[in-house]
Structure 1
Amino acid sequence: MLLFRSLTIPLIALSLSSAVLADASHRADSHGPIGVMGEHMHKEGEVMFSYRYMLMEMDGNLDGTSSVSTDEILEDYRVAPENMTMEMHMLGAMYAPSDDLTLMLMVPLINNEMDHTMQMMGGMGGMGMMMPMRSEFTTETDGVGDIKVGGLYRLNQTDDSTLILNMTLSLPTGSIDEKDVTGMSMGNKVQLPYSMQLGSGTYDLKPGLTYTNSQPTYSWGAQTIATIRLDENDNDYSLGDRIMATAWYARPFADTFSWSLRGAYEYWGDVDGEDKKLNPMMKNMVPTADPDLRGGQRVDLAAGVNWIIPGSATNRLALELIKPVYQDLNGPQMETDYSLVLGWQLSL
């Protein structure tokens, strides 16, 4: 009897583990954190529609890793960027013509808003000296960003892991000719600096690799994606290339919930060339117009949750909060305060 028990208990545990793994596609953590895209594949014939709301708040400026105050920026420039809000509504679709290939389409709708402080010489002060005066202004842009098309190809799969080749092409559908009224434009709309534009203006190749691993009580994954600008845009510049690497750990804590922790590193280069439509004097007036002050690197930590809506294993909601823990910027350049990603996914 004791021998029977000693054999039966491990066999039951093994069966339960196998059942969990076999049903891994219906676990809340079968998809990665919502801030990671292209991290899962679909079975032949499956379709998934998705919506993501992404918010990034930027506040203050860095030069390297050191904070730079508005007063310090205005010693060298006429205008200092103060804060920026970047919002994106990402509409996505995935379709699997086979078990080994999943096709993707992503359409972003973007809204950018940046607040500035401008310093000008004002009235006469004591002893007949000109006194500086400050004012504030805001610029805003919105519209369709760069549409991305591509696919995921399964390079290898075992009982508990998958290795995926990511291959995406970013199309230059986002405007690079956005204009608005600034504090120096005398009521006229003028070409805005790089960070306020809606797209890159170039065809960008985004190759990468993704590895995922699912165990009975947890899952984890890692991904690296590069962004390679293939040419120069119509305004005689190209944004800097980028490289991103991230890894995450996720754990179900109920039948329909899972939580995740994620770390990410990203590096991006300065702008190559100069926007021919920008006033040449602007890069001496505001740091956001200087193509040599656009590069940097950042390390983020993120916490997220996935929820499968009860009654359906194909409907899910997810949330991830992302906080930088290290930033080194070619500055003065605006530093990221935090990011938020909220998403909905429906598989058919």
Structure 2
Amino acid sequence: MTKARLRDVAARAGVSIRTVSNVVNGYAPVSDETRLRVEAAVAELGYRPNLLARNLKRGRTGMLALVVPELDVPYFAELARAVVTEARRHGYTVVIDQTDGEPDRERELIMGASAALFDGVILSPLALSQADLALRDTTSPLVLLGERIAESPYDHVAIDNVAASRAATEHLIDLGRTRIAAMGDQPYETGETAQLRTRGYREAHAARGRALDESLIVSTRRFHRSDGARAMATLLDHPGGPPDAVFCYNDLLAIGALRTLLTRGLRVPEDVAVVGFDDIEESRYSTPSLTTVSPDKEQIARLAVDRLIARLGDRSDERPAELWAPHRLVPRESTVS
């Protein structure tokens, strides 16, 4: 079967080839009647535009990059899926890479030779600084995710980690828990997200008039299951006694904590209530199911992709935008029996 061409659509719709091109590519306005005729001809003939030729003509590749620290962390995998879905809606393909938080790798992917392969980049940085970004001389748009670099000449998408962590901690306080631990603090230069979550934890205690035991704030090197299991063991062996609740800074830490509690013979939530963060799919099927903070990953993806598309279009000179995605607390069995 011969592939339909632009001229075939034009002949079927009774319009010029330029008019079909305007409808298909959105280059210029046409009347509703004409647009409907062209769209009907496109559907009838099964016409598919040559996206490669179109992008080359516009000086673009048709590809966006999503760069994250770790692809085997479920939050980033679920976010990647949302970004791919949103980019596809705009006719773009997404290439996904990971940096392991290595500064050289992050620099290469936003300002090295490989950056020229993409029309725009969405980056969740762990190691880059504002000084690094100041050296970036490529004109392709960049959108930053997370808290590593909140003030920069680039668009930034995040959630309110302080408010979200405060809500998670207040949930535990309102359940009557009196010895609430925090798991996942990272008091070093690249630990901005963890530090904001610690701040929210502190604010919740202050807002409820609760004394804060600093020794119940436990640091972890990473946000992995094994880190959570070890940190929970440390808390259970605390010289002042174990906590009756723990706020974990992501769901993987919480799932690791659940494992340690199980092996120690403790009940969740009766003995220790557990709250996570990220609302990954695994949290809905853990035993017990995990109460968690759910950031709107679809909205994060939508905001990030939309900003790249805007920068590639007629809004390339807009000032950098600071965009916030919503979050909500999802109570489940790990706190509510």
Asked if Structure 1 and Structure 2 have the same fold, meaning a TM-score greater than 0.5 normalized by the shorter chain, the answer is: no
Greater relative CO, 1 or 2 (CA 8 Å, sep 6+): 1
Pick the TM interval, shorter chain. Answer: 0.3 to 0.5
Q: Could you state the TM-score of these two structures normalised by the residue count of structure 2?
A: 0.34
